[in-house]
Each structure stands twice: as C-alpha cells, then as structure tokens.
Amino acid sequence: MTDQTLPPSAHATVKRGAKRARYDAETLHAILDAMPLCHVGYIIDGRPVVIPTLQWRDGNTLYWHGASTSRTIAAAAGQDVCVTVSILDGLVIARSAFNHSVNYRSVVVHGRPRLIDDPVHKEAALKAMIESLTPGRWDALRPMHPKEFKATGVLALDLDEASCKVRNGPPVDDAEDYALPIWAGVLPLHSRWGTPEDDSRVQPGVEPPEAITAFPQGPMFRGL
Amino acid sequence: MTDQTLPPSAHATVKRGAKRARYDAETLHAILDAMPLCHVGYIIDGRPVVIPTLQWRDGNTLYWHGASTSRTIAAAAGQDVCVTVSILDGLVIARSAFNHSVNYRSVVVHGRPRLIDDPVHKEAALKAMIESLTPGRWDALRPMHPKEFKATGVLALDLDEASCKVRNGPPVDDAEDYALPIWAGVLPLHSRWGTPEDDSRVQPGVEPPEAITAFPQGPMFRGL
C-alpha cells in the first residue's frame, strides 16, 4: 500500500457512492486499527459464506486466524476472499425516507490470502494479534504449546486491493424539503470499553495489567 | 421459522464451536432486532464480495435494500447469498494466547432472496425499515416520490436457513493454567446511542420526536 489516493485497480474501485470512497493508506490503516471485528467472505461449495472473526494488521498485511482444520481456512488459502470491516457511527435521519443514511467507516479488501507455514512468521503474526489488542501482554502469557501452535491456521492478505468508504455529517435532503417542519439530524452511536471484569479464578493479588485498565483510552474505535 | 431448537438443514448447521450454536426463533429474532448492521455476501464475477448495509425484519423474513441498478441487487435476486449479523460484546482475555476469545452474538442466514416487485409489499417493507429504527416516523416524513420508489430495490430473504452463535462469560483456560499468576477476565464492549444532533437547517421550533430522543432506552443493542 503506497500513499496512493486513486483506486489500486478496477476490481478494487468503489462502485456505489463513489464520492465517499477513499484509497489512501492513512484512512485504510485507521479503520482497520479501530475495529478488530471483520467479516470474511468465502466461496464454499459454490455458495457465499460470511464469517465474523477478528483481524489485525502488520504494516501492509492483514491477518486473521482459525482452526487449522476448519473449512474456512481451506476455502481461503490461495482462493479469492473478501474481508470487510465496518464501523457504524450513527443513523442519519432525513426529512424523507429516501434520504436516510448512516454515518460509517468501512474497508473492503479483495485478494487471495496465504496460509502462513513458516513457524517464525506464524509466531510473529500471533504475537502481533495479542499485542495489537493488549500491548505488552504476549510475554506475560503462558507460552503456546506445540499442539496449540499446530491447531492454529493463520492467513495473511496483502492490502493491495483495498478500498474505504466514509460518511460523516448531517442528512443531505432535497432542496425543497428543508422548508418542511420535519426534524432531521444524526443519532450518533458510541462504542466504548467498559470496566474489566476479573475472572473469578484469578490468583489473589493479581491485578489487570495497564494494557487492559487503560483500554478505554486505548487505540480502538478511534475516530478518523 | 418455527420454534425449533435443532438446525433447519445440514447447510445451516454451525460447523465450528457447535456448543455455542442456537437455532431457536427467540435468539434469532433478538440478535437481528438488536443490530441493524449486516454484512451481505454475494458472488460477483465468480468472486466473493461482502458489503455492509442495514437489515430489518418483519416476522420470518429479513430485508435489505439498495439502488435498483446496483450490481449487488443484480447479484442477489434469486442467487445464493449469505447475510451475517454480528455484535461484539467483549474481549475474552485468557492466561494463554490460545484460549483468548470474544464474547459475541451472531446470526448467519443462507438462502436466495427475492426482489420485491409488488408495490404494496415493497412500500410495506420500506415503511417497516423506517419504523423498525424510529417507530412512528414514517407518517411524519415527506412521502416518497415515484422516482425514489423506482430507484430503490428491496430484497427479502426468509429466515429458513439461519443459525446463531452466542458466547458469554469468562475465559475457559486449561485446568493447570488457573494456578498461574496471570490476570484473566473480560473486557466488555458497550455500544449506545448518544444525544441526537440537530441538522442545522431544521425549521425553528421543530423538536426531535420521542422515537429519537427515547432511543437510548430503545430496542437496539439489547442484551439477550
């Protein structure tokens, strides 16, 4: 991903609402880093299947994981997939049904992911997953058992065919509708982390690390 | 959708994490009604494409809409699609990387949607969309113009092949890991509606209706 502001390919060009499209790396990375939940589209037995999972990013590459033996890992490695990340920021309530909208930030990535076989790369990717959510946590965890490492499949997809869409602001009504005595505006949606809930079996005197208590001020769900 | 608690078909059976699967109508409807954002998977030019949009429900049928001329409407009518709705409720932070998880509620619906041609049905569906978000609002809006009605394509998908997955609660660690001096627990994620933001061009004296000011107590993002 360079700092391009044009679509990387015809395939990755936003087709509807093109004025809301963005292709720059700053916007792309900010949305991906703000929302770990993604929806991955696979083709399985000739049908589309959309599965929610967590994604994380390392530079120009997006990652996700699953059970090594899962049908989704099998359907992804070297096959066309589509990974979509969406943040709903509010309802846009207009003076007519037609002009209703939503404020949102979204990313759509196309491509053929690679299953990471190299153990050094795979461990680095799994470490990056934990660290992207809770910085400094990897070294505090019980180390991975070899059977856990083997049971985990990690997929990597370069961000070469990615597009973003962003909508902000008030409704855009028809010119003549602004004179109508109808309320219009935005109902914002806020997502934020609550207070950490201790597992009841945490050993006495063990407190949550700062990476977790500091989460509400952390990097997730940042605005652009 | 009957009150079944068994999978409706082999195709709609949850393959991974089957102990988290649910197939009852109460769970299905509660998740769909709690989260309007959905991700629809289509096959376009032989590739999977996942597009975020809003869904709404009327009885046993799920709806979404788009521009009549869009490639997604063309790719959906009478074709296999997959509609997925996911609510991220928290991060589940374990004592090992492998036992990390998320708390969530999700629905996956398979099937072939119908493009609604009948104008009475189509208007009823569009009214249901507005009313599901802001009850009582439809009659307060400027009525739809015929060209707007024509420009809107509405898709309907019966909830016959749907499955839910729900995870709640603390991490499930390996028995021997509970003795380790490592914090573990849940970081809950809360989504809630903020204060309505008036469009700056609202006519003097026009206040937001109760359906909007009452939103924080409204039906969306309810827990199960």
B33-62 pLDDT tens trace: 989 999 999 999 999 999 999 999 999 999
List all residues of chain B from 110 to 149 with a beta carbon under 8 Å from chain A.
110, 126, 129-130, 133-134, 137-138, 140-145, 148
Contact B76, B109 (CB under 8 A): no
- For A136, other C-beta atoms within 10 Å of its C-beta total 12
What residues of chain A lie within 8 A of the CB of B206, using their CB? Answer: 181-183
Average pLDDT over residues A184-197: 89
B214 touches chain A (CB under 8 A): no
A152-180 pLDDT tens trace: 999 999 999 999 999 999 999 999 999 99
- For residues A22 and A164, what is the distance between their CA atoms, to the nearest angstrom? 5
Among all chains, which residue has been given the structure tokens 């044009």? A6
Phi, psi for residue A105 in degrees, rounded to 5: -130, 130
* Among B41, B66, B72, beta carbon nearest to A49: B41
Residues in chain B: 224
Chunked mean pLDDT (size 10), chain B, 224 residues: 60 79 92 94 96 96 95 91 96 97 97 97 97 91 98 97 96 98 93 89 93 63 41
Q: B18-190+209-214 in CATH: which number?
A: 2.30.110.10
ipTM metric: 0.92
Contact partners, residue B175, CB within 8 Å, separation at least 6: none
DSSP count for chain B of H helices, then E strands: 5, 12
Contact B48 A80 (CB under 8 A): yes
User: What integer pLDDT is reported at residue B6 of this predicted model?
Assistant: 63
This prediction has a pTM of: 0.93
B189-213 pLDDT tens trace: 888 888 899 999 999 999 998 888 8
For chain B, give percent helix, strand, coil, nearest 5: 25, 35, 40
What residues of chain A lie within 8 A of the CB of B51, using their CB? Answer: 84, 108
B44 touches chain A (CB under 8 A): no
B175 touches chain A (CB under 8 A): no
Fold of A18-217: Pnp Oxidase; Chain A (2.30.110)
Vertex B128: Cα angle to B21 and B63 (nearest 5): 45
Q: Where are the domains of chain A?
A: 18-217
Contact B166, B27 (CB under 8 A): yes
> What is the radius of gyration, based on Cα positions, of chain A?
20
List Cα–Cα distances, A170 to A91, B148, B152, in angstroms: 10, 20, 21
Candidates A52, A83, A223; CA nearest to A159 is A83
Vertex A172: Cα angle to A169 and A173 (nearest 5): 145
Give strand pairing partners of B191: A191
CA B75 from chain centre, in angstroms, equals 20
What three-state secondary structure class fits B31? helix
Contact A71, B15 (CB under 8 A): yes
